[in-house]
Structure 1
Amino acid sequence: MEEEYEEFSQEQINELVERFEASIKETNSAYFDVEEFEEIIDYYDVTHDTKRLNIALKTASSIHPNHSFFKLKEAQRQMSSKRYSIAISILNDILEIEPENYMALQTLAFTYSNMGNHQRSLEIHLRTLALTSDLKDVYMNVAYEYESLHDYDKAVVYLKKILENDHEDEGALYEILFCYEVSKNMDESVKFFSNFVDDHPYSQTAWFNLGITYSNLELYEKAIDAYDYTLAIDEGFSSAYFNKANALININKYKEAIDNFNDTFIYEEPDSTTHMYIGQCYENLDNRDAAIKHYYKAIEINDKLPEAYVNIALLYFNIENYSKALPMIKLALEISPDNVDFKYILGDIIAEMEDYETAAGVYIDIAEADPDNKEVYFDLAGIYWNMGNKEDAFAILEKGIEVSKINYRNYVRLAEFYYELGDKNMSLNYISVACNSNMEGCLELISGITHLMEDEAVRELIDLKK
């Protein structure tokens, strides 16, 4: 009769490790049996003591040269170090003697997967199905390899096999949602999770995934219902409050969204992202002070969040409080110095402060960093014009038109300049070109240029173009 293996206690493991390390120092050949070496090697593996792990593996292999466990551990170590060819060679040696060694085959599959050879990894994982009664891990590994091969339908087949044996397996449920999302098969996702909650109505994970699916389909009311079912099952499911709040934002229910965002703080630590969303909700409710308060709360939690500084800067910019907007956008740029959008906001703020030379420098930097930017030429031309540099203003607009011949904004700016120079015919010509390019945008832009809109000829041309 085979002797039953007893697990070592932590105290016994510590004594083994001490005895092994003493034998290394004294360079004596203390004997440890296979089970003892397994515990020693696992200890060094878990504690990431690579040096002693190597010594233990070499010593164990020399004392017990025919035991595959030590070879397997060495192969796993080589795989972790990305020495894949060595790992494969060791594993093949094991499999030559023990062709049905489950752990060796699994490690070989992982090695090929790490090398990017997912087809070979898949084939090996499928071989292991006949070698174990614990099929869950194999099914999951097979699903992962099918995902890596972009065969999401087959991945779902194996994930469903996991759920046949354990319908509460959250990992399989989330992975199925992932497959449907990546393959953009949301209709099938609705069908699957709807059927699943019919069969298992207390699965909060399935209800949650159904909510995500409905949100992806922009069916926000149905998504909210699904999240409510999730929370009825588990009131502490903070992600459900968060997702429900986002769905409420999409149907303009900002007050309810704020309530749900705040509910997340009951069950988990407040985070900067949630405060950002709350701030945006208050912006939509025209509550500027509350919005700024939550953006500052986001900064208190994460002072490296540039979007929070930007949002505060824009709120001040919109009420023409440029002296408060300027330092905030500068702080954002300290965090993300290459962000073109942030630089653009900086240029706009400085331009409104009538520091035209500095604003021009900012816009020039943007044009040099992003020459295909269609908007910067319009603004830079306006700065040059305000500085009295009319020649450069026309030149930069010509460059802008080279970048985009259909950008109506540059043509409207040319019309504005020619009108101010007294050349009404050229002005009307460019208004005509702008209207042909984008009638709606042209009307919106010209409506803000008072001296153009007050001109009867301009109004008649626009009426004709409508």
Structure 2
Amino acid sequence: MDEDFFNNELIENFEQMLDNREYRYYDSEDLVEIIEFYIEVNDSEYAKRALEYAEKLHPDNLDIKIKRIDYLLFNNKLKEASLIIQELKEIASKEIDYLLVEARFWGMKNIPKKAIRLYEEALKIDDEETDFICNCIGNEYLNMDEVHSALIAFKKALKFNPENDYSFYSIVQCYEEINDERDCIEFLKDHIEDNPYSEAAWLQLGLLYNHQKEYNEAINSFDYVIAINPNSISAHTHKANSLDALGEFSNAITTLEETLEYDTSPATTYLKIGELYEKLDKPQKALKAYHICIKEDPQLDKAWANIASLYDKLTNFEEAEYYINRAIELDDKNVNYYKNSIYYLLKQMKFEEAVNKLEKLIELDPLVFNSWYAYIETLTAIGEYEQAIAIIISGALKNFNRAELFYQLSNAYYETNQDQLGDEALTNALLLDRSIKDDMLDSYPILQEKIINLNQRPL
């Protein structure tokens, strides 16, 4: 919205009058402008006060009556709006503002065809607002899921006013909805031919080329954006992504570093730079970038997780544990963080702590078999057989009828001298999947003798 719109002397004087409880005369045009301002900025209370003041000064003014409809629609009072629409129909049906407000009314009533007809009538009366009216028509077609018709309307709006961003982005959205990236690329090329300095068009073209994996074309488009606006963080970032996809990691880093001079929130940039240094196998530079990242934004959990992963690669599991725990503090619903934490703990033989994390992991994502298996495996490793039995019966087997669980269960029963239950569980395990028997024997050697005993029993 225009800055002058918010620094409007007319508005300041009106509010001063209200605050001082004064009376001043305003002509109807000024009052219409004041009412429009408050509706535009979503200030219902001041819109109401301005409207009531206007109606006292100019009780028979048609434009103010139309603004009353506008105000009622703004507050979703469709029944009241309908009464005034009917009241004004005979005297205002050829007025552009009346047609627009009635069209909006029918759009809100979810009768888009009637709204479109009224918008089209308005187009015949006034061509100064062609882009606005065509955008409204486009929106109504979208409400009917007639995307191709909406596309025609938005293109007409953009042709009338090539600088109308709403029309431009609506066209891009329509192409996205009909999944037609190639035609969208052609549209952007045509638009750029007529508007070669359109930063938005070059940027969208680059994004589409990126999505099509035509990375060199994308880089060319982003370079045009940067030529138009050297401080475009978005263009630099997406260009870096293209270079990354091409394996040009050093050039991607250089591209990102160009934004650091004017980027007021560079944390995500440093995060990406760190990831690129990892791809270049430069862990120390990656660590430096990540540490700058968390200094800039300590709440960026991914940076803490990336540092943890890097320390894991350096086999420094204690540091990895510290940083992944910080990531979990920031996002305690992230399943991958818990998986990484468990891995780092198990590497350090911290089984009890791993058990706590596994319990939380299962709580977050109970339908992953491997999590249950690892949970039971860890309980077994620390000799918590009774707990392992309870977890298998009350949790794991309710979600999975898997042989591995019965092998684990039989082992836990045998270790607690519950041989009959162990035999039953082992029999189930063998019936479900005998092919994994050898792997299970490696994990649970006690089963070797038990299987021999079962095989020797008469059927």
Separation (CA, whole Å) in 1 of partners of 2:231 and 2:45: 45
Name the residue aligned to 1:250.
245
Aligned residue number for residue 106 of structure 1: 100
**Which residue in the other structure is 2:80 paired with?**
86
User: Counterpart of 2:378?
Assistant: 383
SS at match of 1:375: helix
Q: TM-score with structure 2 length normalisation? A: 0.75
1:177 aligns with 2:172: yes
Tell me how far apart the structure 2 counterparts of residues 387 and 131 of structure 1 sit (CA, whole Å): 83
Task: Name which of 110, 127, 137 aligns with 1:133.
Answer: 127
Deviates most, 73-82 or 354-363: 73-82
Identity %: 24
Aligned match for 2:338, one of 327, 334, 343: 343
Per-residue CA distance 1:18-39 (angstroms, 9 max, x = gap)? 45554x47xxx76554245446
Which of 332, 337, 357 matches 1:362? 357
Does structure 1 residue 273 correspond to structure 2 residue 268?
yes
2:311 corresponds to which of 316, 320, 323? 316
- From 311, 322, 327, the counterpart of 1:327: 322
The residue type equivalent to 2:59 in the other structure is P
Shift in alpha-carbon separation, 1:47–1:400, aligned structure 2, 3 A: closer
- Matches of 2:355 and 2:382 in 1, distance apart? 10
1:17/1:40 contact within 8 Å kept: no
Matched, 1:216 2:211: yes
Match for residue 453 of structure 2?
A: none
The one-letter amino acid paired with 2:182 is D
Residues 230-266 of structure 1, C-alpha deviations (whole Å, 9 max, x = no match): 4345444432221111111222221111111222334
1:68 positional shift: 2.8
CA–CA distance in 2 between the matches of 1:258 and 1:276? 11
User: How much does 1:10 deviate?
Assistant: 6.0
The reply on whether 1:153 has 2:151 as its aligned counterpart is no
Q: What TM-score do you get using the length of structure 1 for normalisation?
A: 0.74
Report the residue type matching 1:107 in the other structure. Answer: V
- State how far apart, in whole Å, the 2-side matches of 1:17 and 1:364 are: 60
Q: Is the 8 A contact 2:31 2:50 kept in 1?
A: yes
Count, aligned residues: 424
1:293 to 253, 270, 288: 288
Cα 1:297–1:153 shift into 2, 3 Å: farther
**Could you tell me how far 1:283 is from its partner in structure 2?**
1.9
Provide Cα deviations, 1:196-251, integer angstroms capped at 9, x if missing partner: 44565554433332221111122222222332344345444432221111111222
Distance 1:227 1:337, change over 3 A: same
Matches of 2:198 and 2:65, distance apart in 1: 43
Distance 1:378 1:232 in 2: 56
User: Which residue identity is paired with 1:366?
Assistant: L
Higher mean C-alpha displacement, 330-339 vs 247-256:
330-339
For structure 1, list consecutive stretches of 5 or more residues without a partner in the other structure. Answer: 1-8, 436-445, 453-466
Is 119-128 or 378-387 further displaced after alignment? 119-128
Task: Give the CA deviation at 1:383.
Answer: 0.8
Contact conserved, 2:107 with 2:140, CA < 8 A, in 1?
Answer: yes
The answer (yes or no) to whether the contact 1:16–1:36 under 8 Å persists in 2 is no
Ranges in structure 2 where 5+ consecutive residues have no aligned partner: 1-6, 416-428, 444-459
Question: Within 2, Cα distance between the matches of 1:95 and 1:378?
Answer: 73
Shift of 1:81: 3.0
Q: Structure 1 residues 169 and 379 mapped into 2: Cα distance closer, same or farther (>3 Å)? A: same
Would you say the 8 A contact 2:305–2:337 is kept in 1?
yes
1:322 shift after superposition: 3.1
Offset at 1:188?
1.7
Cα distance in 1 between the residues matched to 2:300 and 2:90: 55
Deviation of 1:139 (Å): 1.6
